[in-house]
Amino acid sequence: MMSVRYLTAKLAQQIDEELMNVTGAFSLDQLMELAGLACAQTLATVYKKETHPRVLVCCGPGNQGGDGLVAARHLGMFGYLPTIWIPKPGSKEIYKRLQAQCVNMKIPVIPPSSETGPLQNALNESDVILDAIFGFSFKPPVRSPFDSALALISESKLPIVSVDIPSGWDVEKGNAAGVGLNPDVLISLTAPKEGAREFKGRHFLGGRFVTKAMEEKFSLHLPHYPNFDQIVELLPTTDSQKL
Amino acid sequence: MMSVRYLTAKLAQQIDEELMNVTGAFSLDQLMELAGLACAQTLATVYKKETHPRVLVCCGPGNQGGDGLVAARHLGMFGYLPTIWIPKPGSKEIYKRLQAQCVNMKIPVIPPSSETGPLQNALNESDVILDAIFGFSFKPPVRSPFDSALALISESKLPIVSVDIPSGWDVEKGNAAGVGLNPDVLISLTAPKEGAREFKGRHFLGGRFVTKAMEEKFSLHLPHYPNFDQIVELLPTTDSQKL
């Protein structure tokens, strides 16, 4: 069996566009809902709510942050106690709606601040982090307030679940610059990104909405999702078959 | 523990509106995606693809039909072989997009016809039916072409999974008129409807997006969804506690 394809940033962008163009016909609402659900299910698979109830969901300003907001809502539904850190809320209408849905669930949102204190306090009261800060459109360098935030999050030594690409990593070159997070778990969406080749932790795939035709067009060689799950773990045996 | 509340058509409508108003902030895309996924997972829980691979998804022209289209897509992703019967496609833009997503998956759609032949042929080649014809806004009587369709579906003796309320049933009075389907499985969305009180088969609940505040406001007494599932089976013990 061919190994799953690792995507360049450009290819990831192209697949996203094809999913949402006139032919693909998906709305961002749909894709984000399924992606965020997959993120929440991944965290819940690895960190049980009995041992890791308090999840700090860190959201960037882009679509990745939207995935984080969807995940926070589902984690709340699953019985976790999420808190959202969202220093630069996205300006898109969907972003505001997703945030409102979390507020309706009474999920606390840390007020934006130029100080690191509020994030530090939240880290002190969390059991695990969902990192939805930067996605596949991230370009270095990491800018304020995220530069100091990544350092604080790393220093916390809390377990980290990263969405799509660990924040601070180059989407294609990985953590060569050494400023990125070192997550324990990664949930790649649609297909893993080039930069994730060097990732050594537990690696899941989500985004069960890619048609066979699109999978073949882009030679994705996606693994088989079990039963009716929305996530599949990429096992080391598959990982060792990297091209 | 209080028994789950059975909703009138008016209350079901009100809850739907609150979910999607400015405060609730959900889009129809989001709710339909989660509802349709719950329908697909319910069918997959009861009828395994090894024994019941060929699913005839029967869609009405309203939002219920949209749930059916989402379910058909997910069933295709799960490895089933769905076919869609959709004699009166909805006119909403979302409906067209959901249908396009199924076409992209190469899910066959039976061409609309004033004859019963195409539906009969499809029934002959199916193992189980997903009934997404009428939802909680249905008012009797059943009109053409659905009147003859319900009769054909019943005569097929195939197992039926109905969405929200079995098609042909009055949302509040049930199958008193006797023209409705007799499904083996029912997946109620958000909360069961009054008419479903008399339903005797396996009864599931989906729609894990109702906030605690809304649950309390409407005294829904929803059951506890297990783990990170999107569906929960309403067991007879709960059922016997009906108010």
Domain locations along chain B? 9-224
Does B67 have pLDDT greater than 50?
yes
Q: What is the mean pLDDT of residues A196-220?
A: 96
Question: CB-based contact (8 Å) between A208 and chain B?
Answer: yes
Question: CB-based contact (8 Å) between A33 and chain B?
Answer: yes
Question: CB-based contact (8 Å) between A227 and chain B?
Answer: yes
pLDDT in tens, B176-211: 889 999 999 999 999 999 999 999 999 999 999 999
Q: Which residues of A touch B81 (CB under 8 A)?
A: none
The ipTM of this complex is 0.95
pLDDT in tens, A46-56: 999 999 999 99
Q: Residue A113's pLDDT is what?
A: 85
What is the number of other CB atoms lying within 10 angstroms of the CB of residue A158?
Answer: 18
Average pLDDT, chain B: 95
Does A114 have pLDDT greater than 90?
no
How far is Cα B16 from Cα B7, in angstroms, rounded to an integer?
A: 12
Q: Is A138 annotated as a binding residue?
A: yes
Does A239 have pLDDT greater than 50?
no
- Residue with the two structure tokens 């698979």: A45
Q: Give the gap in angstroms from C-alpha A20 to the nearest C-alpha of chain B.
A: 10
pTM: 0.96
Question: CB-based contact (8 Å) between B78 and chain A?
Answer: yes
CATH class held by domain B9-224: alpha beta
**CB pair distance less than 8 Å for A106 and B24:** no
**Helices B117-124 and B146-155: angle between axes, nearest 10 degrees:** 30
Instruction: With cut-offs at 50, 70 and 90, classify the pLDDT of residue B113.
Output: confident
Q: What is the mean pLDDT of residues A62-79?
A: 98
Q: Which residues of B touch A94 (CB under 8 A)?
A: 27
Q: Is A180 annotated as a binding residue?
A: no
Q: Which residues of A touch B104 (CB under 8 A)?
A: 23-25, 211, 213-214
Report the DSSP beta bridge partners of residue B203.
B186, B234
**Contacts with B192 (C-beta within 8 Å, 6 or more apart), sequence order:** B4, B6, B7, B186, B203, B205, B234
Does B133 have pLDDT greater than 70?
yes
How far is Cα A152 from Cα A130, in angstroms, rounded to an integer?
A: 14
Does A103 have pLDDT greater than 50?
yes
Structure tokens that stand for B65 in this block: 């039909």
Q: What is the mean pLDDT of residues B59-75?
A: 97
Instruction: With cut-offs at 50, 70 and 90, classify the pLDDT of residue B112.
Output: confident
Instruction: With cut-offs at 50, 70 and 90, classify the pLDDT of residue B235.
Output: confident
Does B238 have pLDDT greater than 70?
no
Q: Residue B242's pLDDT is what?
A: 44
Which of B194, B174, B188 minimizes the C-alpha distance to B234? Answer: B188
